[in-house]
């Protein structure tokens, strides 16, 4: 089984914190869709007979800016060129304010069976700070319309650790999210990325990031509230009701093969555990479209991964998510960290950062709080 990611680079407004590739000018949309379809068909000549596709994910940018007929062209290309599982998970990222009932019903009829709403907050002042184009009420309306359109698998993206954010403001947003009984919630700490408007605001001391200790308190509050409301944590920032983990995201974390289409999209493919490659496309829509128009690969970077590279990724991706099967790690990568790192692992177990059961280790709630530090030590 493998996965497919499609990067739709259009946004109405670029959010101040976002470092994903996106553009506000939509004039190139027609040529972009034509180029995207060409990339899909070209790639299929190499990979279509390799594996069945289990998940499809439209990310961005703002994929919900696509009209249903545009999305249909892309989906038809995928289904015509690849073998898609009958039980595939097909996710579309959507921004409140860019959808209506008619559009959502059309998406559902095309086979989209999972929506991921970029809500970020239900506090209007926080939405304004984040440069979001929707209000809290528009987010509520969009979620209700999605249910009305027949979607029974919804994710809400939330953001915390905003400047001056308090437990009370975060609690309000969480309670609003819980009130919709969505199947999945992602909660990401605000990161100040270079080359973003937010980075400049911080550099110029106009905005002050939340202190690390306050960030930890908010994250701990999130963990408590998720558990109390029936959500299971299966990755540092991802929570779901039983049976509703994101299969697509999980595939990224367990080294499943995936193909990325569109400008800036990344791909990963291994034929075995000693022959793996990762590559990415141009982060420029003009260069991306021009290359495909001229029958040139739009790839801007590629790297070949050694067995050691893969074992390192297996370790940190596994710890960040559902855990590590130590027997599998030993059998595939000849790396036995239960022996190599025995003293550190025992120390983490005694401090209740890690649990070890039947040769399977995973982080505890306390361990997720210092996940990066634990991974750094074990590496």
Q: What single DSSP character describes residue 353? A: S
101-139: pLDDT as tens digits:
999 999 999 999 999 999 999 999 999 999 999 999 999
Q: What single DSSP character describes residue 194? A: T
Q: Which residues pair with 278 in a beta bridge?
A: 268, 303
What are the DSSP calls for 133-152, one per residue? SS-HHHHHHHHHHHHHTT--
Report residue 89's pLDDT band, with 50, 70 and 90 as the boundaries. very high
- At which residue do the structure tokens 């001056």 appear? 164
Q: Which residues, 6 or more positions from 344, have their beta carbon under 8 angstroms from its beta carbon?
A: 377, 378
221: which 2 tokens?
């509050």
**Per CATH, which fold does 2-252 belong to?**
TIM Barrel (3.20.20)
CA-CA distance, 336 to 343, in Å (whole number)? 13
246-268: pLDDT as tens digits:
999 999 988 899 999 999 999 99
Listed residue (149, 109, 94, 141) closest to 122, CA to CA: 141
pTM for this one? 0.94
As a whole number of Å, the CA-based R_g of the chain is 21
Q: What are the domain boundaries of the chain? A: 2-252, 315-378
**Per CATH, which fold does 315-378 belong to?**
Arc Repressor Mutant, subunit A (1.10.10)
Report residue 160's pLDDT band, with 50, 70 and 90 as the boundaries. very high
The listed range with the strongest mean pLDDT (76-90, 325-339, 340-354) is 76-90
Report residue 322's pLDDT band, with 50, 70 and 90 as the boundaries. confident
CA-CA distance, 189 to 191, in Å (whole number)? 6
Q: Dihedrals φ, ψ of 86, to 5°?
A: -65, -25
Report residue 308's pLDDT band, with 50, 70 and 90 as the boundaries. confident
Report residue 378's pLDDT band, with 50, 70 and 90 as the boundaries. confident
- At which residue do the structure tokens 């960040």 appear? 320
CA-CA distance, 93 to 157, in Å (whole number)? 10
CA-CA distance, 263 to 299, in Å (whole number)? 9
Residue 271: per-residue pLDDT: 84
């Amino acid at each position: 089984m493998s996965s497919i990611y499609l990067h739709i680079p259009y946004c109405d407004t670029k959010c101040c914190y976002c470092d994903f590739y996106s553009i506000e000018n939509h004039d190139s949309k027609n040529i972009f869709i034509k180029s995207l379809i060409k990339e899909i068909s070209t790639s299929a000549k190499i990979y279509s007979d390799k594996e069945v596709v289990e998940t499809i994910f439209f990310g961005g940018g703002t994929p919900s800016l696509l009209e249903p007929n545009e999305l249909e062209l892309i989906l038809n290309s995928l289904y015509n060129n690849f073998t898609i599982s009958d039980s595939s998970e097909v996710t579309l990222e959507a921004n409140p304010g860019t959808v209506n009932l008619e559009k959502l019903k059309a998406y559902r009829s095309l086979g989209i069976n999972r929506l991921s709403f970029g809500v970020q907050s239900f506090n209007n002042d926080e939405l304004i700070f984040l440069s979001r184009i929707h209000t809290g009420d528009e987010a509520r309306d969009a979620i209700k319309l999605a249910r009305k359109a027949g979607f029974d698998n919804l994710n809400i993206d939330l953001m915390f650790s905003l400047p001056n954010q308090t437990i009370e403001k975060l609690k309000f947003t969480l309670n609003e999210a819980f009130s919709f009984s969505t199947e999945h919630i992602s909660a990401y700490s605000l990161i100040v990325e270079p080359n973003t408007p937010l980075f400049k605001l911080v550099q110029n001391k106009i905005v002050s990031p939340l202190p690390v200790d306050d960030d930890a308190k908010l994250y701990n509050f999130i963990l408590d509230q998720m558990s109390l409301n029936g959500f299971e944590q299966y990755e540092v920032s991802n929570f779901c009701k039983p049976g509703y983990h994101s299969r697509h995201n999980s595939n990224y974390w367990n080294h499943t093969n995936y193909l990325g289409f569109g400008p800036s999209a990344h791909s990963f493919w291994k034929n075995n555990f000693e022959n793996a490659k990762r590559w990415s496309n141009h982060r420029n829509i003009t260069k991306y479209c021009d290359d495909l128009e001229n029958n040139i690969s739009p790839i801007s970077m590629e790297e070949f991964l050694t067995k050691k590279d893969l074992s390192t990724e297996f370790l940190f991706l596994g710890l960040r998510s559902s855990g590590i099967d130590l027997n599998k790690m030993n059998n595939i990568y000849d790396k036995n960290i239960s022996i190599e790192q025995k003293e550190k692992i025992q120390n983490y177990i005694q401090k209740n950062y890690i649990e070890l059961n039947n040769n399977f280790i995973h982080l505890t709630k306390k361990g997720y709080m210092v996940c990066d530090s634990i991974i750094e030590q074990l590496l």
